[in-house]
Amino acid sequence: MKDLTQLDPVALRTLATAVGLGTFEAAARELHVTPSAVSQRIKALETRVGRVLVHRVKPLEASEAGQVLVRLAAQQELLEREAVAQLLEDEDAEEGTPYAAVPLAVNSDALYTWLIDALVAVQVEHRVTFELLRADQSRTAEHLRRGDVMAALTSDPRPVPGCRVVQLGRMRYQAVATPEWQRTHLPDGSPPAALARAPMIAFDHNDTLQHDFLRKVTRRRLAPPATFIPSVAQFENAVRRGMGWGMLLELQAADALEQGSLVELVPGRHVDVPLYWQHWRLESQVVADLTREVTAAARAWLG
Q: What CATH number has the domain spanning 1-73?
A: 1.10.10.10
Give mean pLDDT, residues 46-64: 89
Supply the pLDDT for residue 90: 53
Q: What is the pLDDT of residues 94-112, one digit of tens each?
A: 555 678 889 999 999 999 9
More confident call, 82 vs 232: 232
Whether 292 has a pLDDT exceeding 60, the answer reads yes
Q: What is the pLDDT of residues 184-205, one digit of tens each?
A: 999 998 899 999 999 999 999 9
Architecture of the domain whose range is 156-303: 3-Layer(aba) Sandwich (3.40)
| Domain chopping of the chain, boundaries | 1-73, 156-303
Largest CA distance in the chain: 72
Of the chain, the end-to-end C-alpha distance in Å amounts to 50
